[in-house]
Structure 1
């Protein structure tokens, strides 16, 4: 049986302290190489990635049970990364304002994977189709910024975004000619600047 318990305050710091910096996966990076506990670099195979999505799905299912929420959970591998999708009614509170709760749940699920596999995960969690809808919104934001840059020839700074949101914007901008994008600042105020290519 998979341990889906939430970290508790009565556990020792050693039990609950996973090296967050090591398991944090910056989705702005295209490199999917991970470093295991022995410090050796390896690229996870589809079997490893699907196992990660299964572990995360079990963890999220445990959370849903605790919260008494109903939802269908799908685990899959997409774009070279493990993905867990939760679909159902009354799941808005699991997304939170601008996806903040969803990001926190994703980090907890990544920690659950790390605890069982010892390998950092680039797991992507989606609830109620939030990420798919947000991706469409961000594509429109990116295209609008590109149009302004091309029209005025001046850089455009976008509002602060999460790593997932920045990745969505970068993907759209990189597919267009005459412009480039880069992230600047530090979390939680890290943002994208779209500028003309010199």
Structure 2
């Protein structure tokens, strides 16, 4: 099964990194069906890294290995996330909370608000978060490490706030 392959790949990478982590469970993280493979460890600093850079790199590597395996075995591609001690879940929730505050600011001032620079995954989370909110639109601007999301208030006809 695909999730078994992902779990084995992650465990093999942990072993090569000389990091000990215990597989906990597979769960749905978001409404759009993103699967999360939860691991726990007593040494999260090794696997999460500064500002989550190690866990982002780990997810990227595992995703690339999985994509190659999907081509070989004709598996259906799926979205997943490797999480260590709940770091990713907390990070996503913090990101959504900050985006919500920025959206409230955009509504209050009836203008656009620029967020801090984000990596592609974080930008995708913010864009997805506002998908079904009629009076808010998002757009990515900038290049490279300075790429960020702009949250825009869009006045709705016939609706007064």
TM-score (norm 1): 0.65
Paired residue for 1:101?
54
Q: Is the 8 A contact 1:173 1:179 kept in 2?
A: yes
**For residue 59 of structure 1, what is the aligned residue in structure 2?**
9
Aligned residues: 148
Higher relative contact order (CA 8 A, sep 6+): 1
Partner of residue 76, structure 1: 26
Is the 8 Å Cα contact of residues 35 and 81 (structure 2) preserved in structure 1?
Answer: yes
Match of 2:139 among 170, 182, 191: 182
* Alpha-carbon separation, structure 2, partners of 1:66 and 1:142: 37
Measured against aligned partners, the alpha-carbon deviations of 1:139-172 in whole angstroms (never above 9, x if no partner) come to 2211111121111122111011123322332233
Task: Give structure 1 regions of 4+ aligned residues with deviation exceeding 6 angstroms.
Answer: none
User: Are 1:152 and 2:109 matched, yes or no?
Assistant: yes
TM-score, reference length from structure 2: 0.77
Cα root mean square deviation, aligned: 2.3
The Cα shift of 1:81 comes to 4.1
> Equivalent residue of 1:188, what SS?
helix
Gaps of 5+ in 2: 156-161
**Residue pairs, 1:30-45, within 5 angstroms:** none
Q: Please list every run of 5 or more consecutive structure 1 residues that lacks an aligned counterpart in the other structure.
A: 1-50
Counterpart CA distance in 2 for 1:169 and 1:82 is 18
